[in-house]
Amino acid sequence: MRDVAIISFAQTKHAREISDINEVEILMPLMTEALASAGIAKERVDFVCSASSDYLAGQPFSFVMSLDAFGPWPPISESHVDMDGAWAMYEAWVKMQMGKTDIALVYAYGKSSPGNIRRVLSRQLDPYSLGPLWLDSVSIAAMQARLGLDAGVFTEQQIAEVVVDARRHGAQNPFAQLGGTFDVAGLLEEPEFVAPLRKHDCAPVTDGAAVMILAAGDVARELSDRPAWIRGIDHRIEAAALGVRDLTRSTSTKLAAQHARVAAGAVDFAELHAPFAHQELLLRAAIGLDDSVTVNPSGGALCANPIMTAGLVRLGEAAARITRGDGDRAVAHATSGPCLQQNLVCVLEGD
């Protein structure tokens, strides 16, 4: 395997609504910041990979215009995924494994505010049996939480503890949308939103974007004092039909964590992409993180959840902490689809 590292990362100050500027205007300052932080001009970038969804933008081929933020002239090598930016990063990593790409720029953006995100996400469901029901993302997650509670996989108390930790961490993160001091008893007194979920158990609706720069081998060492090396990465997917899955465990995460060799060393902290609080508990169990591991020091998706972007933000947050020296070995995770259908697990290490 070729050594590839995350050497630079920039993200928006995530918000419920960024409506005064368009996607290009959101992305351009982030690209400038990420390139400046890596100390390179855009001409050194060998490959650009982006992530977004036309269903969020409400217009076809919306990502093509977003390339204006990079300036794709002379013609560049470029690709796009209709997936979270973590998978754009995975594509860039695969491309770099082939040897000719030394520097890749990955970006992701998602504005949920133009549409109704719960309805938009229902379009991920199969168009024959579930899609026509307009089964929305919060309701599906609530069914998963109910299954977990009934099976004794987790308790309401544990779900609330996840939220307390996330909001406490979010208060320390200048890019987070939510944060603050809460206690379990207070949270459990809040009314149910879509039972058994309370509003604070669900990620907020967020507009945001992120840009990441990857570099290979000696180029990474040249450009960064402490690159965050990708030591293991894998992604797995489960069936689209919710009825054939065991929603009280995340088998695809478990498999991805095994193939990314999470257990090969101690984990200092983890950034897990859990849009619903109970899902963080399922992910911890699937990856095999014990209680000593700090999870989501950024606050996680519960404090800012720009769709198509929040997974890439987990990778970027983890890498930034490694580069700053706040840890030597981290797990970063991204998810996509209803009830943790698809999962990517990445192990990052500092030298």
Partner 1 sequence: MSDITLPPSLQGVAPVKSIRTPARLDYQYSAGRASSRFLNNVAKKRLVGQMCPACEKVYVPPRGSCPTCGVATGEDVELSDNGTITSFCVVNVPFMGTLMEIPYVSALIVLDGSDIPIMHLIQEVPYDEVHPGMRVEAVWVPDDEIGATLESIRYFRPNGEPDAPFDSYKENV
Binding site for partner 1 (CB under 8 A): 19-25, 28, 31, 42, 55, 57-59, 65, 67-73, 111, 113-116, 119-120, 123, 127-128, 131-132
- Which is nearer to partner 1, 61 or 128 (by Cβ)? 128
Burial class (CB in 10 A: 0-12, 13-18, 19+), 33: middle
- Which residue stretches of 98-183 are H helix? 117-122, 137-150, 156-170
- Which is nearer to partner 1, 64 or 263 (by Cβ)? 64
- Which is nearer to partner 1, 114 or 288 (by Cβ)? 114
CB of 305 to partner 1, least distance (A): 19
CB of 335 to partner 1, least distance (A): 23
CB of 194 to partner 1, least distance (A): 20
H or E element at residue 184? helix 184-189
CB of 14 to partner 1, least distance (A): 16
Q: Are 344 and 333 spatial neighbours (Cβ–Cβ below 8 Å)? A: yes
Q: Can you read off the two tokens belonging to residue 197?
A: 């979920």
- Which is nearer to partner 1, 60 or 99 (by Cβ)? 60
Q: What is the CA radius of gyration of the chain?
A: 19
H or E element at residue 284? helix 277-287
CB of 306 to partner 1, least distance (A): 15
Residue 339 CA to residue 132 CA, distance in Å, equals 18
Q: Are 170 and 299 spatial neighbours (Cβ–Cβ below 8 Å)? A: yes
Residues 6+ apart with CB under 8 A from 85: 50, 51, 106, 107, 108, 210, 212, 308, 309, 311, 312, 313, 334
- Which is nearer to partner 1, 78 or 326 (by Cβ)? 78
- Which is nearer to partner 1, 148 or 204 (by Cβ)? 204
CB of 131 to partner 1, least distance (A): 6
- Which is nearer to partner 1, 54 or 351 (by Cβ)? 54
CB of 243 to partner 1, least distance (A): 18
In sequence order, what E strands does 160-227 have? 192-194, 197-198, 207-216
Q: Are 1 and 97 spatial neighbours (Cβ–Cβ below 8 Å)? A: yes
- Which is nearer to partner 1, 11 or 122 (by Cβ)? 122
CB of 22 to partner 1, least distance (A): 3
Give the C-alpha distances (Å, rounded to integers) separating 291 from 134, 138, 182, 267, 295: 37, 27, 20, 11, 9
- Which is nearer to partner 1, 40 or 228 (by Cβ)? 40
> What type of residue sits at position 264?
A
In sequence order, what E strands does 28-177 have? 47-51, 78-81, 103-111
CB of 25 to partner 1, least distance (A): 4
